[in-house]
Amino acid sequence: MVTPASRHLRVIESSTALEAPITLDAAFRAHAGFVARIALRVLGRPSEVDDLVQDVFLGVLPRLADLRDPQSLRGWLAVITARLARKRLRSRRWKVWLGVGSDYDYTQLADSAASPEDRALLRELYRALDRLPVQQRLAWTLRHAESLELTAVAEACDCSLATVKRWIGAAEAALREEIDHD
Amino acid sequence: MTERLERARRLGERIDAGWQREDVEAQLARLHVRQRVRARRRVLAVPLAIAIAATIGVWWTRGSTVAPHEVARVAPLPVAPAPVVAPVPTPEPPAPAAAVAARDEGSAVPPPSKDNRIVAHHASETDAPIAAPVPSWRDDANRGAYAAAWLGLVRAAPLDRMEDLLLAGDVARLSGHPDAAVAQLARAVERHPDDPRAPLAAFTLGRVHLEDLGSPRDAAQAFAHARALAPSGPLAEDALAREVEAWSRAGETETARARAVTYGERYPKGRRAHAVRRFGGLEVP
């Protein structure tokens, strides 16, 4: 089956810019911060970020030697990060359903310069995101917090452009409902 | 998008994991450990799969007279001697031989035997426990369950390998036992000073002293050691910067200033130049 990821890989592999194979260490040093940032924005919980970053790089490791174009690596990592984050969000949803999920204080997400109002607003946003369906949450976060292009969001979410637009619209409507109570 | 939601979105855009180079290096070391663990598991997977298949085969040939929980104790592979045949009820060739041959060839499921007595007898001669995979503190640590890993670690024998000591340091630190982390990391540096990961161990030791234990003097010495182990390594700049910070926090302003000057000379455009100048007292507030 041709998945968006395999298409992506083929593009990478067919690149004519044949450079030296990218090593795990080099890829990690160059992109771990980027992956961690996406992971944190999507998951909203710093305690889960380290493991996700590790999983992403362990996941790409077997294909890393096939890559020749370092520019493509970043996009590929973003896709894999989004997919693994989606798995974690689903598992979190199951835990909540089974009554073993824990509540999380999202005020820690804000940077040190943020005002108490901003912290409260960010917490409100992530709590609202927790209540959204996982696909909608992922699509909205990648589009609006990570500022990915719609095509990249669609690829990360494994769906068509029309579907991803619909999910983002639905997420936005729900968030507006939850957050704009003033 | 409404104003309030737009503001929330902008706040979301400002979220950053804020990984510094030292965090990346620490995570990279952990990644290497996990990579090795995975490789080991992959090597073990094939014999384990054969053992499970052979066990199922034995259970199948023993028929319903034997409970499954008994079968789990039957040694699967090293079965060479021919069965000692007691009363063979039929003249046809004994089915267990086929079963044994199939097992010797690694066949997943040998054909069922018509004479369960012979197989049962044979199996009873070779009864031996299979080493069941017991999750170790390393497994717990590698899947991020540091509290569980800590419980296993305190019962484990003293460690000696560098990767074990680093992982144990992580487990102790992340499960809220910084004193134990210091012991593991100090041992790592002491036992393996020539290992390429020794500077990372020393650097992490400094962080634990500074951030978890509030011992800036010990932290400064650990950062200095990290630098000494690899003066031009990837952690040298960060180690020097953190050393300035640690000396400053320890109240050793002169030493902090001297190190800050050294930092300025070695890394005039260093990423931590601003913080170093501040901690070294080179910057007028």
What is the overall mean pLDDT for chain A?
A: 82
pLDDT per residue as tens digits for the range A131-159: 999 999 999 999 998 888 898 899 888 88
Does B7 touch chain A if contact means CB atoms closer than 8 Å?
yes
Is the pLDDT at A112 greater than 50? The verdict is yes
Question: What pLDDT is stored for residue B84 in this prediction?
Answer: 42
In tens digits, chain B (285 residues) has pLDDT values of: 678 888 888 888 888 777 777 788 888 888 888 888 888 887 888 888 888 888 888 787 765 444 444 444 434 444 344 444 444 444 444 444 433 333 333 333 333 333 433 333 333 434 444 445 556 888 888 777 788 888 888 888 888 888 889 889 988 888 888 889 999 999 999 999 999 889 989 999 998 898 888 889 999 999 999 999 999 888 888 899 999 999 998 999 999 999 999 999 998 888 788 888 888 888 755
> Within a domain: residue B177?
yes
Cα separation, A126 vs A34, whole angstroms: 20
Closest-CA residue of B relative to A60 is: B35
User: What ipTM does this complex have?
Assistant: 0.74
> Within a domain: residue B12?
no
Does A175 touch chain B if contact means CB atoms closer than 8 Å?
yes
- Helix B95-104 vs helix B21-62: crossing angle, to nearest 10: 170
Does B90 touch chain A if contact means CB atoms closer than 8 Å?
no
CB B180 within 8 A of CB B172: yes
Question: What pLDDT is stored for residue B123 in this prediction?
Answer: 39
Looking at the whole model, is its pTM more than 0.80?
A: no
Structural domain harbouring B88: 21-125
CATH for A60: 1.20.140.160
Q: Which residues in chain A are closer than 8 Å to B13, comparing Cβ atoms?
A: 144-145, 147
Q: Looking at the structure, do residues B83 and B147 belong to the same domain, yes or no?
A: no
Q: Which residues in chain B are closer than 8 Å to A36, comparing Cβ atoms?
A: 17, 19
Q: Looking at the structure, do residues B109 and B146 belong to the same domain, yes or no?
A: no
User: Exposure of B78 by Cβ count < 10 A (0-12 exposed, 13-18 middle, 19+ buried)?
Assistant: exposed
Q: Looking at the structure, do residues B83 and B165 belong to the same domain, yes or no?
A: no
Q: How many CB pairs under 8 A join A and B?
A: 93
Does A109 touch chain B if contact means CB atoms closer than 8 Å?
yes
Structural domain harbouring A113: 4-179
Question: What pLDDT is stored for residue A20 in this prediction?
Answer: 61
Q: Looking at the structure, do residues B102 and B204 belong to the same domain, yes or no?
A: no
Does B12 touch chain A if contact means CB atoms closer than 8 Å?
yes
Provide the chain A residues 64-103 that lie in CB contact (below 8 A) with chain B: none
Q: Looking at the structure, do residues B146 and B263 belong to the same domain, yes or no?
A: yes
Question: What pLDDT is stored for residue B133 in this prediction?
Answer: 55
The alpha-helical segments, DSSP class H, found in B230-282 are 236-249, 253-266, 273-279
Cα separation, A44 vs A53, whole angstroms: 14
Residue where a domain terminates, one of B64, B90, B125: B125
The least confident of A58-72, A75-89, B90-104 is B90-104
The structural domain count of chain B equals 2
Angle value at C-alpha B190, between B23 and B192, nearest 5 degrees: 75
3-state secondary structure of B127: strand
Per-residue three-class SS string for chain A: CCCHHHHHHHHHHCCCCCCCCCCHHHHHHHHHHHHHHHHHHHHCCHHHHHHHHHHHHHHHHHHHCCCCCHHHHHHHHHHHHHHHHHHHHHHHHHHHHHCCCCCCCHHHHCCCCCCHHHHHHHHHHHHHHHHCCHHHHHHHHHHHHCCCCHHHHHHHHCCCHHHHHHHHHHHHHHHHHHHCCC
- Name which of A41, A50, A121 is nearest B8 (Cβ-Cβ): A121
Does B14 touch chain A if contact means CB atoms closer than 8 Å?
yes
Record: contact A54-B30, CB cut-off 8 A: yes
pLDDT per residue as tens digits for the range A7-64: 444 434 443 344 566 788 888 988 999 999 999 999 998 888 988 999 999 988 888 8
> Within a domain: residue B2?
no
Q: Looking at the structure, do residues B80 and B170 belong to the same domain, yes or no?
A: no
Q: Looking at the structure, do residues B159 and B263 belong to the same domain, yes or no?
A: yes
Record: contact A40-B7, CB cut-off 8 A: no
Higher pLDDT, A65 or B263: B263
Q: Residue A147: CB partners within 8 Å, gap ≥ 6?
A: B13
Q: Looking at the structure, do residues B115 and B150 belong to the same domain, yes or no?
A: no
The structural domain count of chain A equals 1
Cα separation, B115 vs B96, whole angstroms: 8
